[in-house]
């Protein structure tokens, strides 16, 4: 009976949140989002979504997991690309109109809340982790909290499993764009104005660690950029959604209390 009541409460909460979903319209796309406001908060957590599993549709991530955080929360959906399962919040044929819409939405939200870009923390896992690190670096937000991101985006997408998404983002001349996509996030990190505050969770046992996280660590070390790492103990990439939230919540509490433990 208790489990039934708990499930019912969760369903009611999710329905009430999703009922307030809005659409941000630009000339090239309609961006679906949820904004949860928190009184007296001076921070905005922007949550990006991961890639949906087999047979699933694009969906918001961590609505319940982050529900008790004492900050404003902006959840942005990525229902673009093939089968509307995601285009890494970028765009089509190297025209990054989705990225532009995301930045406009965040700026509009900041204006509404009376905040600045230095009050923004980006967050997400896998695809959402890539977006968190990319947007934080390129647009000079305060910090990013990412779970198992794939910084070498060209390498990650230019393979059989994601070939249709790679061609959607890169366009007809995809082969020549492979390295462009690989370099996107590294260029963003290097050009950031101000302090990089990068928090990354991953498991050394899952396949993305050696191929994507280790090169990121080498790049950050070579450029004297600090990163705070958190290591989980699991074997499959799709388990990051279960292990990432406790880390993200812990970092958010530190940020909200201005206790950074070495990354300031």
pLDDT in tens, 198-241: 999 999 999 999 999 999 999 999 999 999 999 999 999 999 99
pTM above 0.75, yes or no: yes
Share of the chain above pLDDT 70, in %: 91
Superfamily of the domain at 21-256:
Alpha/Beta hydrolase fold, catalytic domain (3.40.50.1820)
Q: How far apart are CA 241 and CA 126, in angstroms?
A: 8
| pLDDT tens profile 3-61 | 555 565 555 555 656 778 999 999 999 999 999 999 999 999 999 999 998 889 999 99
Q: Name the nearest CA neighbour of 64 among 29, 4, 3, 18.
A: 18
Sign of CA dihedral 94, 225, 108, 57: positive
What residues does each domain of the chain span? 21-256
238: Cβ–Cβ under 8 A, 6 or more apart, which residues?
53
């Amino acid at each position: 009976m208790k489990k039934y009541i708990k499930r019912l409460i969760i369903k009611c909460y999710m329905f009430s949140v999703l009922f307030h979903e809005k659409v941000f319209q630009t000339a090239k796309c309609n961006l679906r989002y949820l904004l949860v406001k928190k009184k007296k908060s001076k921070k905005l957590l922007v949550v990006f979504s991961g890639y949906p599993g087999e047979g699933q549709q694009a969906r918001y991530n961590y609505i319940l997991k982050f529900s008790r955080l004492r900050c404003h929360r902006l959840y942005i959906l990525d229902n673009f690309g093939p089968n509307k399962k995601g285009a890494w919040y970028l765009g089509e044929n190297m025209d990054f109109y989705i990225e532009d819409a995301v930045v406009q939405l965040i700026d509009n939200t900041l204006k509404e809340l009376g905040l600045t870009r230095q009050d923004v923390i980006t967050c997400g896992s896998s695809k959402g982790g890539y977006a968190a690190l990319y947007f934080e670096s390129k647009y000079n937000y305060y910090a990013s909290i990412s779970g198992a991101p794939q910084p070498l985006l060209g390498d990650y997408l230019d393979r059989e499993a994601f070939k249709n998404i790679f061609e959607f983002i890169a366009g007809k001349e995809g082969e020549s764009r492979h390295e462009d996509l690989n370099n996107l996030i590294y260029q963003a990190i290097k050009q950031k104005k101000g302090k990089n505050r990068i928090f990354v969770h991953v498991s050394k046992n899952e396949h993305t660690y050696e191929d994507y996280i280790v090169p990121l660590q080498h790049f950050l070390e070579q450029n004297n950029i600090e990163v705070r790492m958190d290591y989980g103990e699991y074997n499959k990439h799709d388990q990051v959604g279960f292990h990432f939230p406790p880390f993200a919540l812990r970092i958010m509490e530190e940020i909200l209390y201005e206790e950074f433990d070495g990354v300031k």
